[in-house]
Amino acid sequence: MQTLAYVDDTVLHQGQPVRLTGQSGNGGMALGQGVLADRSAALSAVPDRQVSDVRSECDRLRQAIRQAVQELQAHQTADLSSIEQALSEAMILMLQDDALQAQVLARIRQGQWAPAALRDTIEAQAQAFYQMPDQYLRERATDVRELGQRILKHLQPEAICPAAYPEQTILIGADLSALQLAEVPGERLTGIISASGTATSHVAILARAMGVPAVMGIASIAGLQGRTLIIDGYQGSVSVEPTAAMRAEYQQAVTQAQVGYTTLETVRDQPAQTADGVPVALHLNIDLDNAQQGAQHTAAMGVGLYRTEWPFMVRDRFPSEEEQLSCYQQVLAAFAPRPVTMRTLDIGGDKPLPYFPLQEQNPFLGWRGVRILLQHPDIFKTQIRAMLRADIGHGNLRILLPMVTQVSEVTELKQRLHQICAELCAVGHAVTCPPVGVMIEVPAAMYQIDRMAQQVDFFSIGTNDLAQYLLAVDRNNPQVAGLYDELHPAILHALHQIVTSIRSQHKSVSICGAVAGDPLATPLLIGLGVDSLSMSAGSLLPVKYVLCHTCRADAQDLLQQALAQSDAAQVRRLMQHTLQPYGLAERDRSTFQP
């Protein structure tokens, strides 16, 4: 068996067991069948099929090649960089190469249908490149495959799509969207594999919300269609066509997790407090339409972060006030009287809306969160009206502003909020102005807490973005994922400073980034003195278990030790050593099996 970071499709097609390594997106393990979300591009998944009408099949191929050329030409706009222009031109030349067309036509004339004739021709050419000693030429195999997939797109892709999602679907994509995840019937989605992104990418956040294991950064996805896969979301690996031994290992891990879960259940209904009685509220992050389910989790004391992007992402236009109203009413009603913190729309970065295209070189440094809302008062107004109206009769709404870098942004949005509130009251809606908070997720915000505190009621620290901006590591880029760690001592120092500043302003502080759901970090966050932690449902019991078994003085002492370490690996070792008696597994940062 081979263990590889990248594997050529050919190896996958030989049906041999292979273990691919990526990164953990969400813990958990699953066995299922791979389904490519964009199946029209899965050239390798095309089945054999005989044709009798060879002439029309040849025409179909010529037509598909013409369409692929036209498609590329249509994209050759002035907006393309010179590299993209050159690549696009090279692709057109390859498509117009008579030799390629002649080889596919020859296979069709032998009776094969066009998609499979294309598959074999492309595979033969890719192999020829792949065997070359020169690294540059070897990498051209990828270009040839991309070319083949482009042509395939125009060859009746629906004819090669499997009719439905299998019982145990492991959804695979280059850059999966919320919509693609939503397409799989809930009970069938058992795992997610993404070619791009890391543990804090939006797709990983959605995986956590859905409670399915996810592996990120698996480069070779094209050959995974229809394969039997075991995904290990703890270690970030994918076993293709697992052997009997690998299946047995998987079964053992599943059994072990079940045993661990029983132990975790013991804290479910205990008060959320340290062993010496210091309360820390445990809240839920809601990212999808799973509020009803989340509200039934008895350990969830409220919603610390409701990412409102979901109702915007599942439509092909902005949702109306009434559509948002009904969505928010459901969440507020499901949790009342527990508090629900709704974040205003935070699109941009890795959360674009298909109907609101943003063309930016650096999306994470660009038009995001409140920056968009300030320039589009209509979007803000519709959303706030819907939130305020939804809160009538419940009174548990709190509003959170994301991606704030200037005090003036808070001032402006609060003014608008009050005005919207007054307008609604004037026409007879019994709305009240809810508490307003700011996310501290940009380094600039860290240094303005005293002035922001004069305007807001609470703070919530978005460690996913804060870490990305402090460490200068794109949270989506698997290439630099090894540099991204929320337990980096620099992040801990920043958190310490933020919490101290907020405390001195007598405001409450919560953490709602992924670190809040990492039980390894729990003692450190208790040591910081936060009021609440907000996380996905799957993390509530592991975090609560550590909380209930930790004393505040010990947590403060551990925090001091962690602050003195020189890198994240040392902090992790310290925490793993500390939590070992509780049964925190060594093999992964997010595995917790007491």
Which active-site residues does the annotation give?
A: 202, 512
**What is the distance of C-alpha 174 from the center of its chain?**
12
Q: Does 518 bind ligand PEP (CB under 6 A)?
A: no
Cα–Cα distance measured from residue 462 to residue 171, given in angstroms and rounded to the nearest whole number? 28
Q: In what order do the strands lie in the sheet with 189-194?
A: 2-4, 18-21, 237-240, 228-232, 29-36, 169-173, 189-194, 214-216, 23-26
- CB contact at 8 A, 523 and 580: no
The stretch among 22-30, 456-464, 474-482, 538-546 that binds Mg ion (CB under 5 A) is: 456-464
DSSP output for 146-202: HHHHHHHHTS-GGGGS-SS--SSEEEEESS--HHHHHHS-GGGEEEEEESS--TTSH
Cα–Cα distance measured from residue 194 to residue 192, given in angstroms and rounded to the nearest whole number? 7
Q: Name the DSSP letter for residue 51.
A: -
- CB contact at 8 A, 216 and 204: yes
The residue within the footprint of ligand PEP, chosen from 512, 524, 541, 568 (CB under 6 A), is 512
Q: Does 441 bind ligand PEP (CB under 6 A)?
A: yes
Q: Does 465 bind Mg ion (CB under 5 A)?
A: yes
- CB contact at 8 A, 215 and 194: yes
Q: Which residues of 444-468 are buried (b: 16+ CB within 10 A; e: fewer)?
A: ebbebbeebbeebebbbbbbbbbbb
Alpha carbon distances (Å) from 191 to 144, 149, 232: 29, 25, 9
Nearer to ligand PEP, 199 or 431 (CB): 199
The residue within the footprint of ligand PEP, chosen from 25, 260, 348, 462 (CB under 6 A), is 462
Query: H/E/C letters for each residue in 382-409?
Result: HHHHHHHHHHCCCCCEEEEECCCCCHHH
Q: Does 287 bind Mg ion (CB under 5 A)?
A: no
Please report how close the Cβ of residue 540 comes to ligand PEP at its closest, in angstroms: 16
First to last CA, the chain: 31
Which residues between 560 and 579 bind ligand PEP (CB under 6 A)? none
Please report how close the Cβ of residue 351 comes to ligand PEP at its closest, in angstroms: 7
Cα–Cα distance measured from residue 186 to residue 39, given in angstroms and rounded to the nearest whole number? 19
Please report how close the Cβ of residue 353 comes to ligand PEP at its closest, in angstroms: 14
Residue 409's binding partner out of ligand PEP, Mg ion, none, with CB under 5 to 8 Å set by partner kind: none
Q: Does 462 bind Mg ion (CB under 5 A)?
A: yes
Residue 463's binding partner out of ligand PEP, Mg ion, none, with CB under 5 to 8 Å set by partner kind: ligand PEP
Please report how close the Cβ of residue 491 comes to ligand PEP at its closest, in angstroms: 11
Residue 512's binding partner out of Mg ion, ligand PEP, none, with CB under 5 to 8 Å set by partner kind: ligand PEP
* Tokens representing residue 177 in the block: 């969207």
Residue 513's binding partner out of Mg ion, ligand PEP, none, with CB under 5 to 8 Å set by partner kind: ligand PEP
Q: Does 9 bind Mg ion (CB under 5 A)?
A: no
**What is the distance of C-alpha 517 from the center of its chain?**
15
The stretch among 73-81, 207-215, 458-466, 552-560 that binds ligand PEP (CB under 6 A) is: 458-466
Nearer to Mg ion, 57 or 346 (CB): 346
Alpha carbon distances (Å) from 224 to 39, 295, 544: 11, 36, 37
The stretch among 13-21, 28-36, 223-231, 459-467 that binds Mg ion (CB under 5 A) is: 459-467
Please report how close the Cβ of residue 307 comes to ligand PEP at its closest, in angstroms: 5
Nearer to Mg ion, 261 or 364 (CB): 364
Nearer to ligand PEP, 112 or 200 (CB): 200
Cα–Cα distance measured from residue 295 to residue 306, given in angstroms and rounded to the nearest whole number? 12
Neighbours of 260 (CB within 10 A): 19
Residue 61's binding partner out of Mg ion, ligand PEP, none, with CB under 5 to 8 Å set by partner kind: none
CB under 8 Å to 390, separation ≥6 — which residues?
Answer: 324, 325, 328, 329, 331, 332, 397
Please report how close the Cβ of residue 510 comes to Mg ion at its closest, in angstroms: 13
The stretch among 70-78, 321-329, 434-442, 478-486 that binds Mg ion (CB under 5 A) is: 434-442
Nearer to Mg ion, 32 or 462 (CB): 462
Q: Does 463 bind ligand PEP (CB under 6 A)?
A: yes
**What is the distance of C-alpha 583 from the center of its chain?**
28
Nearer to ligand PEP, 464 or 578 (CB): 464
Residue 68's binding partner out of ligand PEP, Mg ion, none, with CB under 5 to 8 Å set by partner kind: none
Which residues between 303 and 332 bind ligand PEP (CB under 6 A)? 305, 307
Which residues between 333 and 352 bind ligand PEP (CB under 6 A)? 346
Residue with the CB atom nearest Mg ion in the bound state: 465
- CB contact at 8 A, 467 and 513: yes
Residue 171's binding partner out of Mg ion, ligand PEP, none, with CB under 5 to 8 Å set by partner kind: none
Q: Does 441 bind Mg ion (CB under 5 A)?
A: yes
Q: Which residues bind ligand PEP (CB under 6 A)?
A: 205, 305, 307, 346, 441, 462-465, 512-513
Q: Which residues bind Mg ion (CB under 5 A)?
A: 441, 462, 465
